[in-house]
Amino acid sequence: MSNRFFCPDPPRDGRFNLGAEEARHLARVSRHLVGDRVELFDGQGFATLARVIEVGKDHVELAADGDPIPETRPPCSLTLATAIPKGDRFDWLVEKATEIGVERLIPLVTERSVVDPRESKLGRLRRTVVEACKQSGRNRLMALEPVVAWADLVRQPGPGVCLIARPGLHPGRPPRVPAGGSVILAVGPEGGFSPAEEALADAHGWQPVRLSPHILRVETAGLAGAAIILASIEERDVDDVG
């Protein structure tokens, strides 16, 4: 039974109102009744326990029942800029990136790209982000940005540390990412970035990183890189405290 629901609208007169889709899910799928306590989150960091006050055909009204729930934030602001894998593998990537704490995901078009998602596809995937937040306990939605050409992205001022996944590098310590800072990780398509695209990244100060001794699929590389970055900061913070 689901006890967590997305409610992006602020309360009116102290009452929260779920949208039609979430209301139907609460009443018909989860079969919650008046008096039940559930958790609401707005996708921008706020969450609270709430009690069901009224259940209608396509609406549910709730009242906050306790203090706001503190938000757990990742150790840095992480953007994943990635080429699009084929088929439903992109759906899986969006879901898992949301779960592990990626703040923004930017779909990339590169010289070797084979997939260029339409806005309708991205719109559907934004619902996947909501569902992943509901499942994982995340209170802030991952931003799924419009498609960007690699040449345009690489020339933009970086949000801090700019990393580009590059297979074939010798093992080495990854660049240091400061806790609480911003980092963007770029992952190319099958076959990787072209030599010209790598040279462009080098010219604009992007730092190459090695994610694995093996050749990874696009979606695997994106998740592995994101997990490595987030885990390395958390581990360093623990060591510093110790």
Residue at 153: amino acid letter: L
Mean of pLDDT values over 31-44: 96
Strand locations in 69-118 (E): 77-83, 104-109
Please, which residues bridge with residue 81 across strands?
Answer: 106, 186
Residues 6+ apart with CB under 8 A from 149: 108, 109, 110
Least confident of 13-17, 40-44, 156-160: 156-160
Determine whether 85 is exposed, middle or buried from the number of CB atoms within 10 Å of its CB (0-12, 13-18, 19+): buried
pLDDT(117) > 80: no
Closest Cα to residue 176, out of 234, 241, 229? 229
Residues 6+ apart with CB under 8 A from 235: none
Collapse the DSSP code of 121 into the 3-class scheme (helix H, G, I; strand E, B; otherwise coil) and give the result. helix
Superfamily of domain 77-241: SPOUT methyltransferase, trefoil knot domain (3.40.1280.10)
Q: Is the whole-model pTM more than 0.85?
A: yes
CB contact set of 2 (below 8 Å; sequence gap of 6+): 25, 26, 29, 30, 134
Q: Within the chain, which residue ranges are assigned CATH 3.40.1280.10?
A: 77-241
Residue 240 has pLDDT above 60, yes or no: no
Looking at the domain that runs over 4-68, which CATH code has it been given? 2.40.240.20
Q: Going by DSSP bridges, is the β-strand pair 148-149/161-165 parallel, antiparallel, or unpaired? A: unpaired
Cβ atoms 147, 109 nearer than 8 A: yes
Q: What is the pLDDT of residue 57?
A: 83
pLDDT tens string 179-238 = 788 999 999 999 899 999 999 999 999 999 988 888 899 999 999 999 999 998 876 554
Residue 233 is predicted with a pLDDT of: 86
- C-alpha span between 118 and 136 (Å, rounded): 27
pLDDT at residue 26 tops 80 = yes
The residue type at 99: E
Percent of the chain with pLDDT over 90: 71
Q: What are the phi and psi torsion angles at 130 (to 5°)?
A: -60, -45
pLDDT at 241 over 50: no
How many C-beta atoms lie closer than 10 Å to residue 212's C-beta? 13
pLDDT at residue number 168: 74
Q: What is the pLDDT of residue 160?
A: 86
Helix (H) or strand (E) holding 209, with range, is: strand 207-209
Which amino acid belongs to residue 64? A
What are the start and end residues of each CATH 2.40.240.20 domain in the chain?
Answer: 4-68
Average pLDDT, the chain: 90
Judged against a pLDDT cut of 80, whether residue 239 lies above it is answered with no
> What gap in Å lies between CA 95 and CA 147, rounded to an integer?
18
pLDDT band for position 115 (50/70/90)? confident
Higher-confidence residue: 177 or 236? 177
